[in-house]
């Protein structure tokens, strides 16, 4: 029994961190938000070069056959640099959905291409988590029609889109079918989300049932929690650094007890989140009976902690934190979006209670 990262996992984190840092700084992020999509492509290529897209894909399909824990470590680094790169859907949720039955024709056909980065995969299941008016999908003898919003990893015109209708996972090949994908503008320019319109598209059934749908959503939630962990961690570090540079009243502001305690409170809230994220990720791989509850708590708790931390860290930066000059707001906004997708905290806590049979 060991509650710690293995050496391999440490190395994975560090190398991903170095790689992203080498291509991605705040000015580049600013350009990206300004519409220059070069960074997206560079990161995509870098990820492929490191073999990351296939992280969860079994070796027989050309992947590394690792788990949600490793996927979360990567997500933490992505969040740390607010890197606009395919991950939660393309490399986590879609592969898990395709692997439900072990091997299958669909798995054999698509997973190798995803692993190689030859195709990108998008997931459009927002309506399962909480459906809004004028959205939703229906299936009519094998053909899906309707609109799904807040689809994830839809930015590299994905070859395949995985979605859920009537409690079943379906796969749509965008090369063969009439699918319209358009980006939905949100506060967070570093995590593109899409509207996907299916115009009576032939859909191949992957697998079905609440269990696999939960499993895919849980993995997504854990990975988003890990992303928020990285984003928050880096906001805290920035706040401390800034407080040790900025002087007012002839002192660095980091020497004022009020600022010290703001930072201490952020650290006290954030530190246990790392263990929570590790545990929930590990649970997805190895503790099936706890995986659902752990995933809900990771998503809900990180959403609250990160949300609060983003506000405090910005305040520590004073006026500069509010301007665009430091780009701190990219971190702030990435947390703002991650908090809401795949279920906001109040809703996810409700699920956490239901999982334990409370109030049902």
Partner 1 sequence: MDLNPGPEYIKFRKEVKSFLSKNNHMSSRASDSAYTADKESNWQEKLIKNGYAARTIPKEYGGFGAEPDVLKSRIIAEEFTESQTPLGMANQGISMLVPTLLELGTEEQKKSWIEKTIKGEIIWCQGYSEPGSGSDLASLQTKGVDDGDDFIINGQKIWTSTAQFADMMFCLVRTEPDAPKHKGISYILIDMKTPGIDVRPLMTMTGHAEFNEVFFTDVRVSKTNIVGNRGEGWYVANATLKHERGMLGDPNQAATRLKEIVNLMNVETINGEKLINNPVHLDRLMRLQGRVLSMSYNSLRSLTASHKGLDVKMGKLIVKLNGCQLNHDLAGFAIDLLGELGTIYGLSNHDHDSGKWQWRYMFDLGLIIGGGTAQIQKNIISEIGLGMPREPKPMLEEKK
For residue 278, report the phi and psi dihedrals to the nearest 5 degrees: -55, -50
- Interface residue with a second copy among 208, 240, 256, 340 (CB under 8 A) is 256
Q: How far is CA 161 from the centre of its chain?
A: 17
Q: Which is nearer to a second copy, 256 or 322 (CB)?
A: 256
Shortest Cβ distance from residue 129 to a second copy (Å)?
A: 23
Residue 314 binds partner 1 (CB under 8 A):
yes
Binding mask 179-198 for partner 1 (x = CB under 8 A): -----xxxxx----x-x---
Alpha-carbon gap, residue 335 to 321, rounded angstroms? 15
**358 touches a second copy by CB under 8 A:** no
Q: Which of residues 280-299 bind partner 1 (CB under 8 A)?
A: 282, 286-287, 294, 297
- How many positions of this chain bind a second copy (CB under 8 A)? 4
Binding of residue 258 to a second copy (CB under 8 A)? yes
Closest among 215, 210, 196 to 144, alpha carbons compared: 196
By CB under 8 A, the residues from 259 to 318 that bind a second copy are 261
Cβ-Cβ contacts under 8 Å for 149 (sequence gap 6 or more):
126, 132, 135, 184, 193, 194, 195, 196
- DSSP structure string for 89-100: IIIIIHHHHHHT
Residue 33 Cβ vs partner 1, minimum distance, rounded to whole Å: 9
Residue 257 makes contact with a second copy by CB under 8 A: yes
Dihedral, 204, 210, 212, 214 alpha carbons, nearest 10: 120
Asked if 69 interacts with partner 1 (CB under 8 A), we say: yes
Report CA 308 to chain centroid distance, whole Å. 19
Among positions 120, 126, 207, 231, the unique one binding partner 1 when judged by CB under 8 A: 126
Residue of 141, 166, 289, 359 interacting with partner 1 (CB under 8 A): 359
Q: Which positions lie near a second copy, rule CB under 8 A?
A: 256-258, 261
């Amino acid at each position: 029994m060991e509650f710690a990262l293995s050496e391999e996992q440490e190395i994975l984190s560090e190398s991903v961190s170095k790689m992203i840092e080498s291509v991605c700084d705040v000015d580049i992020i600013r350009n990206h938000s300004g519409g220059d999509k070069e960074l997206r492509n560079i990161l995509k290529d870098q990820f492929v070069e490191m073999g990351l897209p296939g992280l969860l894909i079994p070796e027989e399909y050309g992947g590394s056959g690792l788990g949600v824990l490793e996927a979360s470590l990567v997500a933490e680094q992505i969040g740390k640099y607010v890197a606009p790169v395919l991950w939660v859907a393309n490399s986590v949720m879609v592969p898990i959905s395709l692997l439900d039955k072990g091997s299958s024709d669909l798995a054999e056909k698509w997973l190798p291409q995803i692993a190689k980065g030859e195709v990108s995969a998008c997931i459009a299941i927002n309506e399962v988590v909480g459906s809004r008016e004028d959205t939703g999908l229906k299936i009519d003898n094998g053909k899906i029609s309707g609109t799904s919003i807040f689809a994830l990893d839809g930015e590299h015109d994905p070859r395949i889109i995985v979605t859920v209708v009537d409690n079943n996972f379906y796969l749509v090949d965008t090369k063969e079918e009439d699918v319209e994908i358009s980006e939905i503008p949100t506060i967070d320019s570093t995590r593109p989300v899409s509207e996907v319109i299916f115009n009576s598209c032939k859909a191949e059934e992957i697998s079905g049932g609440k269990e696999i749908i939960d499993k895919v959503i849980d993995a997504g939630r854990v990975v988003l929690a890990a992303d928020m962990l990285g984003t928050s961690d880096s906001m805290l570090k920035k706040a401390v650094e800034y407080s040790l540079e900025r002087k007012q009243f002839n002192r660095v502001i980091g020497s004022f007890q009020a600022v010290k305690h703001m930072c201490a409170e952020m650290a006290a809230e954030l530190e246990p989140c790392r263990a929570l994220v590790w545990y929930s990720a590990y649970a997805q791989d190895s503790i099936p009976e706890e995986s659902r509850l752990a995933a809900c708590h990771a998503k809900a708790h990180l959403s609250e902690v990160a949300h609060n931390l983003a506000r405090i860290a910005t305040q520590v930066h004073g006026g500069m934190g509010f301007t665009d000059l430091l780009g701190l707001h990219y971190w702030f906004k990435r947390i703002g979006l991650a908090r809401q997708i795949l279920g906001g905290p109040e809703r996810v806590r409700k699920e956490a209670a239901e999982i334990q049979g409370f109030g049902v």
